[in-house]
Amino acid sequence: MDTNKSNVAENDPQFEAAFQKKIDAEIKIEPRDWMPAGYRKTLIRQMSQHAHSEIVGMLPEGNWLTRAPSLKRKAILMAKIQDEGGHGLYLYSATETLGISRDEMYDQLHTGKAKYSSIFNYPTLNWADMGAIGWLVDGAAITNQIALCRCSYGPYARAMVKICKEESFHQRQGYEIMMNMAQGTKEQREMAQDAINRWWWPSLMMFGPHDADSTRTTQSMTWKIKRTSNDELRQKFVDATVPQAHYLGLDVPDDKLAWNEEKKSYDWGEIDWDEFRNVVAGNGLCNRERLQTRRDAHDGGKWVRDAALAYAEKQKKRTAAKKAA
Ligand code: 3HC
């Protein structure tokens, strides 16, 4: 059966069975292939929210561009923030292959219909936060995104390969900031410890609710959109990051953290799920400010979009006139 027909109803049981066989055989699904409506909807939701997270994620760090401690640090932070913008555009483009427009996605973000990662609703109070964000937030993102490189949807998986390469630079530059401060003056060491105290638990929230509370995981794993569960990825991140904190001479703010020799991984405490739900529901410290900044930037950039469209229209007319001549 040729399941590359995209003109068949998206809930045809015959096609669903053939589709799942492709997924199980690790055959990538491409934009023109037939896919169940739910698969398309899940990808549009997750990929557009991923793109929103990249774009909104530029704001907390952008706050420190003009206050970077040196020209070198300013240049590195500038490069990182520009990368995040590129990741967002990359992911918006990959999501458009599923039949949603850029404007629709922006509207879903600006009206609060769409989510973005909770982590970006926390304030950045000082330069150590730039280190903690690169080290912990980008570190958590890499843990999650490496799994997404094996996602069943071709454009998403391929976007992840490029994005992960850049994320590893983001994580390293953050860890270097933390190392400089942890080996610096007493005040700098205290700032580094304060930053991990504030960013550790919100970084663990990035992996989503516990598997048992996840509304999406089972179906997403059947469709191989999600290759590893939220809790497994979170545990992987904890096991990799705790030794890095110890190397810096910093304490992880979790008094239940302990190495479990039998499991060969860390036991640790419990996330404050009320805080998680509160931030995801829009009541975090910076939710309103972040969304308003995005809306203002979108409105402020309208003249650029109009000019680009007018120029494209003019070019189209010029080409058509040349062809007609
Ligand atoms: N913040 C906001 N919403 C969250 C969340 C978080 N940390 N964790 C989960 N959610 C939402 C989910 O979106 C879902 O809501 P929805 O159905 O309305 O979309 C609900 O909570 C239930 O969560 P599930 O785990 O059941 O949902 P998913 O299967 O979608 O898993 C996810 C959540 C693990 C975040 C998954 O969507 C995913 O892997 N997304 C792609 C990666 C991503 O978006 N990362 C965000 C950070 S990007 C980043 O950090 C950029 C870097 O450069 C710094």
What are the pLDDT digits (tens) for 311-324?
A: 999 999 999 999 99
Residues 6+ apart with CB under 8 A from 321: none
Confidence of residue 10 (pLDDT cuts 50, 70, 90): low
- Helix, strand, or coil (residue 259): strand
Residue from 215, 222, 229, 234 whose mutation best tests the ligand 1 pocket (most atoms within 8 A of CB):
215
Q: pLDDT tens, 115-126?
A: 999 999 999 999
Rounded to whole angstroms, the Cα distance separating 44 from 48 reads 6
Q: Is 52 in the pocket of ligand 1 (CB under 6 A)?
A: no
* Element at 185 (helix H, strand E): none
Q: Which residue puts its alpha carbon closest to atom 9 of ligand 1?
A: 208
Would you state the pLDDT for residue 225? 98
For residues 202 and 278, what is the distance between their CA atoms, to the nearest angstrom?
A: 12
Tell me, using a 6 A CB cutoff, whether residue 214 lines ligand 1.
yes
For the chain, percent of residues with pLDDT exceeding 70: 97
pTM, full prediction: 0.95
